[in-house]
Amino acid sequence: MSDPKVLVQSLTPSAVQDAYSLIQPYVHRTPLLTNQTLNNIASTPQSPEALNGTPFEGQSPANPKIRFFFKCENFQRIGAFKARGAFHALLRLIEERGQEEVQKRGVITHSSGNHAQALALAASTLSVPAYIIMPSISTPSKIAGTRSHGAEIIFSGSTSVEREAVVEEVQARTGAILVPPYDDFNIICGQGTTALELEKQYKKLVTEKPHLSVHQELPVLDAVITPVGGGGLNAGVATFFSDKTTKVFGAEPSFEGADDCRRGLAAGKRVPAVSTLTIADGLRTPVGLLNWEVISDKNKVAGAFAVTEEQIKAAMRLVLERMKAVVEPSAVVGLAVCLYNEEFRRLVEKEAPNGWDVGIVFSGGNTTVEAIAKLYS
């Protein structure tokens, strides 16, 4: 990779626009949904008991007003936003190196599931061989989905260090070209197209139905929250909104140090490694180097917040039961922040007495009936 501090200067809203023009024929324009019940829950103070054991214990709970706009990438091809970045990265690779060379060498990546399926799909669509390094503990449905697109799967350990070691071994044998899962210019621009669609859909929706917004005049998307694992989605969304007033936040699990982005921002230094078995399996990786250059810029990302495993499960249950939408645990960390993270809720209450319109990116829906049953057994 080129120097991240130099490369980040080319990450602009226009680069995201260019990516969108290229990938439109290959990806879905996913729906933007609202839900009055979840608006009401978010706009009701938590019980005082919910604050026990937190820095806010004994204080009056915050009473923000929040209107949600859910960007449902769980309905994207392969069931996750990752299709955007994978198609963009592979199309650019073919542009740069020529179709003959890419088809001869093939592509390789490492992923717990969603990027794996996305690159397998893109490679199959564009007639390119794909080698996918997957942790042996990956969700069975994600393994099956990856294999269904004709990719060759090679299993590895669960940490990023273990995955990358196997990538090097397979590259040495095959000559395959690496398409990183998140820490890559073209991946970031592709993921940023999620924000481009979200903003267009929000403006159209609130123009047609003004009552959906907290704003009486000139509706504006106040904030967008995305999950943060490797950081490609958050960096892409932040890149698109970098010349706008919309604030971008990251959301993470706190379990076993999975909140490396939040901790890194607090310390002013990127956390280079993560070892966690959070139920949000798509968020078990540290923020990438290039992504960190975007996310650590306070002019682009306003902060990151973490939630517990129980809060993730509670948010997921609400989406399943109230929205009738299938999502995976990683997808709902942003919603969980809005519902249960008292620090974030106090921020909304303080900054906006009239409330915020908040975009929530549901990053994916790749789970199984068995996995959901196990979570709530």
Decide: residue 255, CB within 10 A, 0-12 exposed, 13-18 middle, 19+ buried: buried
Beta partners for residue 72, in sequence order: 362
Distances (CA, A) of 199 to 75, 193, 303, 315, 358: 18, 10, 20, 24, 11
Q: Residues 322, 333, 24, 98: is their CA dihedral positive or negative?
A: negative
Which residue among 43, 112, 213, 242 is the active-site one?
112
Close Cβ partners of 208 (under 8 Å, ≥ 6 residues apart): none
Catalytic residue check, 5: no
Marked catalytic residue, from 43, 71, 82, 160: 82
**Residue 104 structure tokens:** 């001869």
What is the dihedral sign for C-alpha 36, 38, 39, 43?
positive
Asked if residues 244 and 196 have their Cβ atoms less than 8 Å apart, the reply is: no
Q: Is the dihedral of CA 356, 286, 260, 336 positive or negative?
A: positive
Gap between the Cα atoms of 182 and 164, Å rounded: 13
- Residue 14 bears catalytic tag: no
**Which residues are marked as active site?**
82, 112
